[in-house]
Structure 1
Amino acid sequence: MDNQAKIQEIVTSHPVVLFMKGNAQFPQCGFSGNAINILRTCGVNDIFTVNVLEDEGIRQGIKQFSNWPTIPQLYINGEFIGGSDIMTEMFQSGELKTLVQA
């Protein structure tokens, strides 16, 4: 299975997926840590994380998959939401909480 197919399978198999550096217990960059904190604050406990540092093919592939240059990347119900900055804006407006609870 190529990386694009693998990524497609991951994002469609879990309601909330975060491609990040590190994991939920040990984020390895501030932006990834911020993303986890935001999701937890929104009441999301079941976050499927993918550590892009463990797989260079996924790390590069996710950027092509979403056409988005940075990590972390959040997917909800198979749909690309955005990175840390977009998550922060959506969290502050209340939009993210509404989305994850839907």
Structure 2
Amino acid sequence: MEFPPNQGLDQDEVDERVAEALEENEVVLFMKGTELMPQCGYSRKALGLIDQHRDEFETVDVLDSLDEFRQALSEQSGWETIPQTFVDGEFVGGSDVLEELEERGELEAALETA
């Protein structure tokens, strides 16, 4: 069985997708996999934490163009790891930061939008 090379998007397309997602959505989670099928434990954890406090938020599956999404997100947040959560276009953190905010009782407020 052969697997074709990465058939993902080019860097410009990914940059545009990231910019649009941040501009058009109050809360965005860039994650590995989808809301119904997270593909890594960290993405699953971040999804669950956000879902406790928000009924509506956007998720973006980065797996088809992982390297390009890492680059685009790094330019926005200064972080290369996935998942990444943004509120009103501002970087909040990955699953570890969300977990810390939840433990301190601050996650709900961090996920509120202006």
Equivalent residue of 1:85, what SS?
helix
Aligned to 2:36: 25
Structure 2 CA distance for aligned equivalents of residues 101 and 64 of structure 1 = 24
TM-score (norm 1): 0.87
Give unpaired runs (5+ residues) of structure 1.
none
Structure 2 CA distance for aligned equivalents of residues 78 and 65 of structure 1 = 9
Equivalent residue of 2:76, what SS?
helix
Structure 2 CA distance for aligned equivalents of residues 64 and 23 of structure 1 = 23
Moved over 4 A (4+): none
Aligned to 2:63: 53
- State the 1:29 CA deviation: 0.2
Q: Is the contact between residue 70 and residue 80 of structure 2 (CA under 8 Å) also seen in structure 1?
A: no
% identical equivalent positions: 38
Which AA in structure 2 matches 1:83? G
Count of paired positions: 101
Q: Confirm or deny that 1:93 pairs with 2:104.
A: yes
More helix by share: 1
Equivalent residue of 1:50, what SS?
strand
The Cα RMSD (Å) is 1.8
Q: Is the contact between residue 33 and residue 39 of structure 2 (CA under 8 Å) also seen in structure 1?
A: yes
- State the 1:33 CA deviation: 0.2
